[in-house]
Chains A and B, each alone.
Chain A
């Protein structure tokens, strides 16, 4: 059990967890700023970015694709803003117009270009392939101390770990400005904080997290982790510090439980094959959110019926 676990399950589980945390942290602030669906939009436009990067470089290499995806995310944010201002259109509709068009463009480019030789398709982009990120060289827990085996860890692990660390560092570093500008933009402006820049930076960090997570786990987890853990955490407490803490707990719980249920759950019910881990992680995060909606201590709107209870 131990050896097999390290070889087949440890790295996907770690990658899933890191991706979940990296997305859930900025998700907290996006949720409070009512920009929760930015994550949805970003994860759609990542596809054209990746395809364009592939067409330019002609190879499925991680770094150019990440750059392409990040570029596409930035373009999408700018286009959404431009449509909102130029056309005087409400944000939701502007977002809907932008990300569907860009996604359609990505699919078309993908169909038009010759990608039959490489592993690049829409389903993979959507669903990810967490199960395939196994650690071939591992021979058991002892491999964690073995430099040769460690060198053969999947590249995705290193990238998502770096991004997760970056997101945590930025969140800690910019905690006060983020908090102030999220809750009271006018006050933040009066304090001389660059409110617009903070907003754009937040979306930028979210994009980086989304792109890195997308590379490892596909876009379903990205959208789910941007929204479900922070939303559930929002129903648990009234303090931002605790909300962020809860959201990390929920994100980790979803990733670990989801992976275990997907990999071993079917076996308990007499099935033969594992089901999609990415999908299962999203489902578990949804179940956690559902529970929070039913019994979370701060679930009701202030002043709503039931607040007295």
Chain B
């Protein structure tokens, strides 16, 4: 791993850096409110809650019996001529993909936007093997040019201004491109067209894998998913094992939930269902199709209190509504997934030691629970992760000390009276409250707020006087 913000910096440091970028705080709400309004308009005459309930049922029943559905999926893939590879962790997944590329004598790879390939840090491994790797989603292409990271599950360059994109693409063009989104897109189209035509291998993720038919489903708008799986002679799909759906008609529920919650679209421009390599009488398509099934910590969540997080379909809706994400953006979370889902997945996949502080980055307002198209109880999961962090002793000493003093003082009436009485008297002294707010434990909290004064006479005493 070349650069790992999660272990090198704290959430507070990363958040402070992001908060210094005023564009971010206008761009994220603007973009995400748009999706939410479109969603409301699209479902105005429909029972969206009913659709969510169906989606939640499909996902929870599937995950509850994951192994059965995976076995069926693998068998159906094999029957379709798809070569299936199991990867227990990121290293194994990278090794499979590198070997497939090597065996194919590949030199050039085109990629479809995929969070799973981000998760296993695939690109550096392929580049180290001497392969030319080109991200073909417009946003991911810019991320790659800038050696940056995507900051949103479905809108990777939500944090970048048009001017920044113009500068990046101008470097590729070797001339100054005009400040016009349409011209910039046109330039990327022409440049990437050569990449599609020359590529030996196309690598995609998988939005869903349908067990009944052995089908990889890709949901895109730009057409790069179709190009990358049509033109190169090898197609590799990296699929998280939890993305399985039992039946084709589950897609009639899951597709509108995914696109509705993700972008507010009724359906994305392209929904591509791939069930194997090019058939004998087909005019085009890859000669080989491989699916790499990625575990990387997923199976270990089965049967635990975190199993529900495996229902996630990566729509990004919880990021869009999260009051913390909307201020600090995706990079503050320090790893691949941001927002509430990132705050749950990161400690589970990367461990409490590195990711344990992320569940604290939540006001527990529950907006993520309300929006999640498959009804994952995200804020319950955040609370469980907080508790686990304390149980494991992973919380910082100061935090544990404050919490245990608090618990001691608040768990009996007389201790509460004494402690709150003393605290209240002390706070009435001007210099004590000023020092508390500026240097004491409240200093961070008091940065944007004034510290409230306790009442001279506590409530319980006033009640007993009445």
Do A and B share a complex? no
Which residues of A are interface residues toward B (Cβ below 8 A)?
none
Which residues of B are interface residues toward A (Cβ below 8 A)?
none
